[in-house]
Copies of this chain bind each other. A is one copy, B any other.
Amino acid sequence: MNTKGNGIEFISGGVVAAKGFRATGIHAGIRKNKTKKDLALIMADKPVAAAAVYTRNLVKGAPLTVTAEHLRNGYAQAIICNSGNANTCNADGIEIAEATCRILADAAGIAASDVIVASTGVIGQPLSIEPFRKGIPILVEALGADSTGANEAIMTTDTVTKEVAVKFTLGGKECHIGGIAKGSGMIHPDMATMLVFVTTDAAITPEILSEIVRKDVVTSFNMVSVDGDTSTNDMLAVMASGEAGNAEITEFNAEAENFAEAFGVVTRALCRKIAADGEGATKLIECKVSGALNDETARVVAKSVITSSLLKTAMFGADANWGRVLCAIGYAGTDTDINKVGVVFRSEAGDVEVCKDGHGVDFSEELAKKVLTEKEIVIDVILGDGNGEAVAWGCDLTYEYVKINGDYRT
């Protein structure tokens, strides 16, 4: 059974696992390929507490600007997201994003200022409002318990849908948190993340929700890297309906901690799914750093390791080239005593220690090959500088990544 501490249990349902939300996705004609859904909607029954974090890229998609404006009061009722076009670097980008919100507001009988709008796809290509005009009324009609449809509609080069949900209790009331996410290239979030939409029925104020989200991304989505490229359209948006009936969380008490823990279980599960489905990836690479000077140093080291192209190709080739791990630690720009570094490769096939005190140790190449041929690899980096810890998630670098990105637009 999929259980976590504090009675947190994995369940199905994605963004409709929480009470008070409906969702769906359709093909609205933003993409040429009619078999691919391209417009997603997640709708709350009423305006609810909401929070979001965004990319730190100076180039920001127009939808992010519009969403930030709409979330200033801490409330939202709907998330609308198209794939196939990022609506970024377009002269009329803001206009299009605002028009999208208005059309949805009219069709669903809600306020345009309660709409969170997001886009993902090619940068710098004009986005026509026509598919939205035609599609949104159909989208609103189709709303239901359809997390997968919404998930499919936000996918770009993703090969699988990514949804997670948990149930847990707050003050004796059963609560739910569920999320959907899309990757899978241009993934190296800074501050926020790729597109992730989360719903919960826990009652919580916008202020506390926002704080929990901001704190969570430091060790969740900001620790994922597929290719070192920080997207222009990254966004994590959360809506909390309060329909679970728990006493509203209005301060950082034990209930807030319980909520944050359950939230973290959802986001970390999504992180792993996003990394494992990185463009062209054949395996999930998790780098665990311990013994660092502090947690921040551990994060920088972990991210440097999973971002290294050389390490990523070695993982693709199941080659225990641990020198590349040391190399990436060395150029991370941190205060690290290289002569105390240890490295262990781990997977379901076993553990193999390859480096101790900064020097190579004898190991079985045969066992190493076996360990690294698995689908999920842990690179355990043990430093000797303090008690700082971190985990980062990435993937291998493959022919397929090059193929996908060599001709993405056409």
Q: Which of A188-213 contact B (CB under 8 A)?
A: 188, 190
Chain A interface residue number, banded: 35 or more
Q: How many Å lie between the Cα of A331 and that of B338 in the bound state? A: 29
Could you mark each residue 301-324 of chain A with 1 if its beta carbon is under 8 Å from any beta carbon of chain B, else 0? 000000111100110110101111
Contact in complex: B330, A232 (CB < 8 Å): yes
Chain B binder among A11-19, A44-52, A95-103, A393-401: A393-401
Per-residue contact bits, chain A 21-59, to B (CB 8 Å; 1 contact, 0 not) = 000000000000000000000000000000000001111
CB closest chain-B residue, reference A328: B229
Number of this chain's copies in the complex: 2
Contact status B407-A317, CB under 8 Å: yes
Determine whether A402 belongs to the interface, using a CB cutoff of 8 Å to chain B.
yes
Binds B, one of A73-81, A118-126, A163-171: A118-126
Which one of B58, B125, B228, B399 contacts A308 once the chains associate, using CB atoms below 8 Å? Answer: B228
Q: Which of A84-92, A109-117, A239-247, A269-277 lines the interface with chain B?
A: A84-92
Are B89 and A360 in contact, with the CB atoms below 8 A? Answer: yes
Partner of A359, one of B91, B401, B409: B91
Question: Cα distance A264–B152 when bound, in Å?
Answer: 54
Q: Is the CB of B330 within 8 A of A409?
A: no
Cα distance A359–B317 in the bound complex, in angstroms: 40
Give, as a whole number of angstroms, the nearest-CB distance from A314 to chain B. 7
The answer on a CB contact under 8 Å between B330 and A57 is yes
In Å, the complex CA distance between A330 and B231 comes to 9
Query: When each residue 324-340 of chain A gets 1 if its CB lies under 8 Å from chain B and 0 otherwise, what string results?
Result: 10111111100010100
Interface residues of A (CB under 8 A from B): 56-60, 86, 88-91, 122-126, 185-186, 188, 190, 227-232, 307-310, 313-314, 316-317, 319, 321-324, 326-332, 336, 338, 355, 358-360, 397-399, 401-410
